[in-house]
Copies of this chain bind each other. A is one copy, B any other.
Amino acid sequence: MTRPAPAPCTQCSMYAEAGNFCASLTAAELKAMNARSCLVTIKRDETIPREVLQHHPVMAVSSGVLSVQQLLHDGRRTIAAIMMRGDILDLRHTTAKQLGTLVALSKVQLCRLSPAVFDQSIAINPSAREMALRNITNQAYRAISHASDLAKKQALEKLASFVVECRDRCPEELPLDDVHIPIRRGDLADYLGMQPETVSRSFKELEERGVVQVLDLSHLRVRDAEALRRIAGGDRSVRGSAPFAKAGFSILVADV
């Protein structure tokens, strides 16, 4: 039985989207990459086993959301980082153990890059090198900025920060002001270091303040981007321009 024909790189978002590593490869490099790499699909809540990471320490997220998780002794779970399309992981110098486990938060397409081809491309192709470096650097700075969200911000502020992060980072093309929340409430709670209940209450609060409108569990509409930004920056007193989005209530309240 032959191995299933690898999906051609040309159909992968790592290649298709400018700014990603594979998009900067030459035709020859892409061909080598295509021959030596392999695109796998991971279902939601599946963990990438340690031995797989050891055999394929270099990989890239082609679609979906991959998380770095840590489990505390008594069952508390932390999502320390989320990786999205274009993000490169190089675990050759970091055992997965010290980083945590890699768990898919949605259906994830992951490309196991050939380390040799990866290194080779980085060595000779300046633009591939720049893309890779830029991606890793951005991951570092995103993680730093996430740490700063977690350190001192209150629940509402963390959530506002996260919405802003989604707006900047999520690849989807949506009507202006609509934001796609790519992960579930429970995962979001573990990413922001809070409880699902608190996430829910904070969404409600943002909505009551007229800052966002919750369209469904994975879609928001931003009603007042400036207010959102200011809440994310720690100004908790801010109210949006369209308070009490669910019309009707405001009249009742005003009359009391």
Contacts and interface: CB of A to CB of B under 8 A. Distances in A.
A99 B144 contact: yes
A153 B73 contact: no
A78 B90 CA distance: 29
Interface in A193-209: 193
A136 B148 CA distance: 19
Nearest to A79: B151
B145 A234 contact: no
A151 B78 contact: yes
A16 interface: no
Interface residues of A, number: 50
Interface in A63-92: 68, 70, 72-74, 76-81, 90
Interface string A113-128: 0000000001100100
B234 A73 contact: yes
Chain A contact residues: helix, strand, loop or mixed: helix
A122 B233 CA distance: 37
A78 B143 contact: no
Contacts of A81: 144, 147
A152 interface: yes
A151 B72 CA distance: 11
A234 B72 contact: yes
A192 interface: yes
Given A98-B141, A141-B94, A141-B98, A72 B192 contact: no
Interface of A: 68, 70, 72-74, 76-81, 90, 93-94, 98-100, 122-123, 126, 129, 132-134, 136-141, 143-148, 150-153, 157, 190-193, 230, 233-236
